[in-house]
Amino acid sequence: MTTRIFIFILISFASQILFANSCEFKKWSSYKKVDLLSHPSKKAYIFKTSHKAIDADGAPNAYHPNKSALDYLENAGYPNTSWWKSVLVADPNNSTKAYIQKDGKYKGYFVSKTSLQNNDKKVIDPSRYIDATKIPYLVFPKSFYNKKGTGLLGDHGYAINLSNGKESTFIVADIGPTNAKLGEISIALAEALGGENPNPKNGRGVPTGEILYILFPYSVRKNNNIGNLLESIGGIEALNKCK
């Protein structure tokens, strides 16, 4: 075999390996300098970010009139902003005040809301909302949520910490400030990805490293579990090629 033929075969073989292991997701848009890559099937998209913020919203002990809660009351905008009603439930008897739980384990705490809600339950019922301490969820900035193709509240997703290999399913459960960065996550998702005692008050305890997120837009409309959704785009192996 001549040297030229050998080199040709070697290059061809290397190209086949590279193609077989290439990421199928291709860039379709971006948000605040974060690339959004879409799967050819249009069933999913991914993005990576090292930015992280911790959300306590939806937890029954998220906010309290004093500071004995998961997060500072100021972070709910109460009482000195016009937007606090998007975070806290207003008192049905006095809409200028936030409602305080009257009984139960978290008597005395405010009722913290999430954008995703169980409409079968009363507005003042804390269980109507998605508990940040129990449910891994992702927050969409409002401008990202309004972006065509990003999906809906309740959509399924999967996250991989590229630093430590920890993984978790999640749902899209809250809509944050209009121009916020991607990467705000619930306490439960932060813990699942390697965070230690994540603190919404000061941002400490967040998982280190870059996080790869895969979203299945409009999956809330379908009766599919995350396993089936991942399988539809080639499984975890497809994501590993995009790390």
Q: Taking the CA atoms of the chain, what radius of gyration do you get in angstroms?
A: 21
Question: Please, which residues have CB within 8 angstroms of residue 226's CB and are 6 or more apart in sequence?
Answer: 156, 157, 158, 169, 216
Kindly give the residue spans of alpha helices, DSSP state H, lying in the chain: 3-20, 142-145, 187-192, 226-231, 235-240
In this prediction, residue 1 carries a pLDDT of: 52
Q: How confident is the model at residue 11 (pLDDT cuts 50, 70, 90)?
A: very low
> Is pLDDT at 223 greater than 90 in this prediction?
no
CATH number, domain 24-54+133-240: 2.40.40.20
Q: How confident is the model at residue 6 (pLDDT cuts 50, 70, 90)?
A: very low
Summarised one tens digit per residue, pLDDT across range 135-183 is: 999 999 999 999 999 999 999 999 999 999 999 999 999 999 999 999 9
Percent of the chain with pLDDT over 90: 85
Question: Please, which residues have CB within 8 angstroms of residue 183's CB and are 6 or more apart in sequence?
Answer: 49, 50, 51, 52, 53, 211
Q: What is the pTM of this model?
A: 0.89
Summarised one tens digit per residue, pLDDT across range 76-134 is: 999 999 999 999 999 999 999 999 999 999 999 999 999 999 999 999 999 999 999 99
Q: How confident is the model at residue 21 (pLDDT cuts 50, 70, 90)?
A: low
DSSP class per residue in 170-222: EEEEEEE-TTPPS-EEEHHHHHHTT-SS--TTT-TTPPPS-EEEEEETTGGGS
Summarised one tens digit per residue, pLDDT across range 102-117 is: 999 999 999 999 999 9
> Is pLDDT at 10 greater than 60 in this prediction?
no
Nearest to 54 by CA among 152, 146, 137, 145: 137
